[in-house]
Structure 1
Amino acid sequence: MENLLDLNFLIESFPAIISRLPVTIGIAVGSLLLSLVIGVAAALIKIYKVPVLSVITSIYISFIRGTPLLVQIYLVFYGIPKIIYFLQSEYGWLQSADVNSIAPEFYALMAFSINLGAYLSETIRSAIESVDRGQFEAAKAIGMTPVQMMLKIVFPQALTVAIPNLGNMFISTIKDTSLVFIIGVIDIMGQAKILGSRGLAFFEVYIAVSIVYWILCIAVERLLVKIEKRARRYERGIA
């Protein structure tokens, strides 16, 4: 009679799965940092209604929010090499670029950054607009430049407002990295699939990888709670 669960195989699969944790965390953290740059730029473009760029930004956000992440990963994975080949053949640009040497992690990072940047742009825009307009006028009155005003007055307060949403998106990104195996990235989910195919014990490895995701997300959530509390204390101190 076949056992419902091979507990030994489940336990033995943990070290191999955890060994790929740096890949998962690296993609999630890297994409968050890059998406913050994209999100801030897109938010400021929409707030200040920059001609042409505002329309392009709106189309970008609408497209990303209206298409599945899986499709976006494929578009980046197949699109970037085609663009590089086109630039090389038509304009002689990027001749030193070897598409075959680009690691799949790069495509995953780009896809997640583009995806997350669209969602963060709306979060950042609403956070910036939540700052009291009187502080904008006060900053102008004391001679601050727009850049100084944003860096010293607006962004610190907006970040405090945006932290909960940023945290939720980061946790979602960690879970969404399970899709990167489709383009050859061996993260914790990819490692679980490989182990499952070798031992024909998919149920066990999927239980193991789900526990790893669960613990990782709990740890990140606890860290974000501490960061939010510290930010709130900083805000009250300034007030």
Structure 2
Amino acid sequence: MFLNNIVFAITANMEGWELFQNSLLPMIQGAIKYTIPLTLVSFTVGICLALLTAIMRLSKSKILTAPARVYVSAIRGTPLLVQLFIVFFGLGSIGLTIDPFPSAVIAFSLNVGAYGSEIIRASISSIPKGQWEAAQTIGMNYGQALRRIILPQAARVSIPPLSNTFISLVKDTSLASLILVAELFRKAQEIAARTYEFMLLYVEAAILYWIVCFALSIVQDQIENRLDRYVAR
């Protein structure tokens, strides 16, 4: 009986290791085909939206600041999962059907836009008012001063927290599996549903997410070190 238990444990481990190896490629393919593109597209669109929203928040016109405040408050005050379901299932229920991947892009972009706008707004606000006055002195209007003087300086301040937002977005893309986007975690779910090896497959997915985020954190550190050296000059 004891020997049978040993043989069973060894066989189970061997089968688990084989499943781990066989499931690795589909998960990596899901990451390359969906997770990474979803992250890049959503972050790019989100940052553009964040910059626009931040500028609106800093405007003296209530016509611009009011909708920007409502947007930021609504997104920050509701869970990302709920936002994702509203875009995919909610809009579909009223006749506006959007495919899973574009739905995920819309939801993630809106989320990044709201959180990113607060980072950018704070970064712009941190620039001394003397910079604005100096730009006006040499004949620059508001748009020119913002583009040539303020935003380049604000970018150095906002890059670290925006990098954290990007890394968090990589992990948040796993929520897209709930609307059938075949990204990394969805692949793990599909394989686990066939093999019933939920712990093994979910841990494997977690390891892959960790590897990607760890690599991105190294890149983030390099960028921050270069910025520190640039500012120190």
Tell me if both proteins adopt one fold, taking TM over 0.5 as the criterion. Answer: yes
Structure 2 residue 31 is matched with structure 1 residue 21 = yes
Q: CA deviation at 1:170?
A: 0.9
Aligned residues: 222
- Name 1:118's counterpart in structure 2: 114
Q: What TM-score results when the alignment is normalised by the length of structure 1? A: 0.86
| 2:22 is the counterpart of 1:12 | yes
CA deviation after TM superposition for structure 1 residue 145, in Å: 2.4
| Percent of pairs with identical residues | 37
What displacement does 1:105 show? 0.7
Cα shift at 1:80: 4.0
Alignment of 1:114-193 (within 5 A): 114-193=110-189
For residues 82 and 141 of structure 2, the distance between their equivalents in structure 1, rounded to whole angstroms, comes to: 42
Query: C-alpha distance in 2, partners of 1:18/1:210?
Result: 12
Q: CA deviation at 1:83?
A: 6.6
Note the C-alpha offset of 1:143: 0.9
Counterpart CA distance in 2 for 1:11 and 1:50 is 58
- What amino acid maps onto 1:36 in structure 2? I
1:49-128 equivalent positions in 2, closer than 5 A: 49-81=60-92, 85=96, 99=97, 102-128=98-124
Distance of 1:42 and 1:185 partners within structure 2: 28
Compute the displacement of 1:130 (Å). 0.6
Match of 1:52, SS state, is: helix
Q: CA deviation at 1:24?
A: 0.6
User: Relative contact order: is structure 1 or structure 2 higher (C-alpha 8 Å, sep ≥ 6)?
Assistant: 1
User: For structure 1, which segment, 2-11 or 105-114, has the greater mean C-alpha deviation from structure 2 after superposition?
Assistant: 2-11
Provide the TM-score with structure 2 as the length reference.
0.89
1:130-163 residue CA offsets vs partner (Å, 9 max, x unmatched) = 1111011001110112222112111111111111
Q: Which residue of 2 aligns with 1:203?
A: 199
Q: Is the 8 A contact 2:88 2:99 kept in 1?
A: no
Partner of 1:216: 212
- Structure 2: gaps (5+ residues): none
Conserved? CA contact 1:31–1:110, under 8 Å: yes
Q: In 2, distance between residues paired with 1:25 and 1:8?
A: 26
Aligned-pair distance for 1:79?
A: 4.1
Which residue of 2 is the match for residue 33 of structure 1? 44
